[in-house]
Structure 1
């Protein structure tokens, strides 16, 4: 037990790492995802989300003005100067979620392209921080341009005013939508799900740095020689070190989970305790991945500075591939294919399957089990590399 306590004391002697990587990142995740609610549970009607759009009209034609008016009916249009710095500042400060620039000659080019079977003119779109709202606004603009092109092609003799009227009639047709409340509201569970998705970054950074530091210190040649010279068997020494690192990993998971529950997950846990338990269990399995990475990096001789760098970079990349920073549906096919080689992707799939269902069924358990199983295989594969490096040393 002395080796176990010694290993834990190494981590406790670096409180700055525990405070920054565990507590601070968990608090940041709670702050970022705390307002991520898509649907009001008490609402009985559907109200589409409105984005803040900066529309820069460099054409001034009837079609470009009609496009701006159309976007204004579904979003909040803000006035921004047609200058690069002003547009960048509006997006960076969230004054606008998206900037739409209508190029000069847009109206005439659209009519010509539609009636000569050419390509419709493109509009420039730049995203801000709220990527979901920006993507929706971009699709609304592209849909209007497509409808305008179709109207111009079907009515070859129509002028711009007539095309605008035709598009207004076509774009005004909408489906009736009703909101039905379920036992577990996706809108209520979404902030907690987003927090757990961000927690993949927290766990990756904190466990690699804190646990990797313990493995690295305990594997130092001088300390290792003294331990091997003691009456304790080498296998027992290694088991005590590993047990201490496992306890430290579980403690990091407990703190991160507690922050998520206290910041909004408790009301979901009261309504759907089984779903929340499955989601948290998925995160515990994911914590084994940075644990195995910390072990492997320590056996490869990575220093403390290297652990900090690799923990942050690896956590950022892995959480991005898991969809923590932006939905994977907005990414290209190459990124979506690469994401399946990340354990964060499979963990988030398991969390999503658990938190977006009102009843835990066999199908839900199978999806959650699949995500947890693939994640565990990643951890086992990485740990095997560390064991090979240990044997070589």
Structure 2
């Protein structure tokens, strides 16, 4: 196990790469994933069966018919009627103040009861009753003055409520007019009772809005999608960190001089290679455990229990992440066989990690363009994210939907390892053929 321990010491000597690419980048990805997860939590917490609450209009009611008690009752009833659905605003009764309130948005609708309106309203009501008995056409009723703000449509809608109020008044007063006559109609008590009737029947005078409730998703679709996005964002830090660290590890053992020294040792080549591979797998396992713990902590911080998502889905997602981590380590092994420099290893690791992240679909809010999908299918990241989304999708067909992408991720790992072994055999054979042969016994060992 000395070779494995030495390999682990090589990795520890380059711990800056782990801190930068694995720890640093993973924290950024977790922050992004937590933001999406918190939005999913808010969406899931909000009930799908809501109460319809229309926006309240701001209304100014100005009564300029002060000398008539009937008009005062009309104005007070109008204020109580509109107060059920609107916000009454007080503005000084001056043209400049009213215009400023209308233009500035302080009021959405200005209602002015002009002087003498109460008497004209009663006269029109008496004429309507008389014309109804004679069978002729009834005259129109006087209108109050209204000015709706052009900044909002709420004022125009509130005008309909003003008309509904006076319609309700006429409905309440016309029967009394036929039974008790005009003298009873002109009393303020009759107007007050009619205004109270209009206010009490406010709900029946409004248009009815039917609300059809849609049941909440029992599978927590928003939460599952947020969890899949959080796990999918592991593609960049895992691919970058494992590529750089594993390539650095095997690069330390693959130089011609070190390779000849290892061949001269009494240990079998298979044992040496196995211990190197074990160190790489230990690194991949450590990275996977670290990211799983980070995702679990992120879910707990967002107030989401992993058990609520279904342990089957969660464990299967973590298993897919493990296969992806092995694929990233295999890519680092393949890269090391080309004997690149340290700067080239870092460049390739970062660039390939970015390509994997942006073409996998985990960092985008929607479907990728066809070109990026084509590029993504040439990397394990796209298949990794596809497997995660299929696992979390309750409408997925089952094993086939996520099993095939998972197999492709495993095949990527196998392909990288095979290419690396082929390149290693070619380069080492060539190095053996061109290596200088020395007959000096002091050079042995």
Q: 1:242 aligns with which of 254, 273, 277?
A: 277
Write out per-residue CA displacement over residues 89-148 of structure 1, whole angstroms, 9 at most, x where no aligned residue: xxxxxxxxxxxxxxxxxxxxxxxxxxxxxxxxxxxxxxxxxxxxxxxxxxxxxxxxxxxx
Q: 2:371 aligns with which of 308, 324, 334?
A: 334
Conservation of the 8 A alpha-carbon contact between 1:17 and 1:210: yes
**1:287-302 alignment to 2 at 5 Å?**
287-302=325-340
Conservation of the 8 A alpha-carbon contact between 2:299 and 2:306: no
1:181 aligns with 2:184: no
1:282 aligns with 2:285: no
Q: State TM-score, norm by structure 1.
A: 0.63
Equivalent pairs, count:
264
Conservation of the 8 A alpha-carbon contact between 2:224 and 2:392: yes
Q: Which residue of 2 aligns with 1:40?
A: 43
> How many Å apart are 1:46 and its aligned residue?
7.6
Moved more, 22-31 or 334-343: 334-343
> How many Å apart are 1:176 and its aligned residue?
6.0
Moved more, 267-276 or 8-17: 267-276
Q: Which residue of 1 aligns with 2:352?
A: 314
> How many Å apart are 1:270 and its aligned residue?
1.5
Three-state SS of the structure 1 residue aligned to 2:407 is helix
Conservation of the 8 A alpha-carbon contact between 1:204 and 1:315: yes
Conservation of the 8 A alpha-carbon contact between 1:198 and 1:324: yes
What CA distance in whole angstroms lies between the structure 2 residues aligned with 1:328 and 1:250? Answer: 31
Q: Which residue of 2 aligns with 1:61?
A: none
Three-state SS of the structure 1 residue aligned to 2:417 is helix
Q: Which residue of 2 aligns with 1:353?
A: 390
**1:118-267 alignment to 2 at 5 Å?**
178-182=214-218, 184-264=219-299, 267=304
Q: Which protein has the larger Cα radius of gyration, Structure 1 or Structure 2?
A: 2
> How many Å apart are 1:177 and its aligned residue?
6.8
Write out per-residue CA displacement over residues 198-246 of structure 1, whole angstroms, 9 at most, x where no aligned residue: 1100111010011111011011222222211110011111111011111
Q: 1:364 aligns with which of 398, 404, 410?
A: 398
Write out per-residue CA displacement over residues 250-292 of structure 1, whole angstroms, 9 at most, x where no aligned residue: 1111111210111116844222111001111111111122111
What CA distance in whole angstroms lies between the structure 2 residues aligned with 1:291 and 1:225? Answer: 25
Which residues of structure 1 form unaligned runs of 5+? 48-174
What CA distance in whole angstroms lies between the structure 1 residues aligned with 2:49 and 2:407? Answer: 38
- Structure 1 residues 328 and 43, CA, compared in 2 at 3 Å: closer, same or farther? closer
Conservation of the 8 A alpha-carbon contact between 1:46 and 1:177: yes
What CA distance in whole angstroms lies between the structure 1 residues aligned with 2:277 and 2:307? Answer: 35
Conservation of the 8 A alpha-carbon contact between 2:239 and 2:353: yes
Q: Which residue of 2 aligns with 1:135?
A: none
Q: Which residue of 2 aligns with 1:387?
A: 421
Aligned CA RMSD, in angstroms, stands at 2.5
Three-state SS of the structure 1 residue aligned to 2:394 is coil
Conservation of the 8 A alpha-carbon contact between 1:188 and 1:268: no
Q: Which residue of 2 aligns with 1:9?
A: 9
Three-state SS of the structure 2 residue aligned to 1:41 is helix
Conservation of the 8 A alpha-carbon contact between 1:295 and 1:386: yes
**1:108-123 alignment to 2 at 5 Å?**
none
Write out per-residue CA displacement over residues 44-88 of structure 1, whole angstroms, 9 at most, x where no aligned residue: 2289xxxxxxxxxxxxxxxxxxxxxxxxxxxxxxxxxxxxxxxxx
Conservation of the 8 A alpha-carbon contact between 1:35 and 1:191: no
- Structure 1 residues 319 and 46, CA, compared in 2 at 3 Å: closer, same or farther? farther
Conservation of the 8 A alpha-carbon contact between 2:225 and 2:389: no
Q: Which residue of 2 aligns with 1:29?
A: 29
What CA distance in whole angstroms lies between the structure 1 residues aligned with 2:387 and 2:403? Answer: 7
Which residues of structure 2 form unaligned runs of 5+? 51-210, 428-445
> How many Å apart are 1:364 and its aligned residue?
2.4
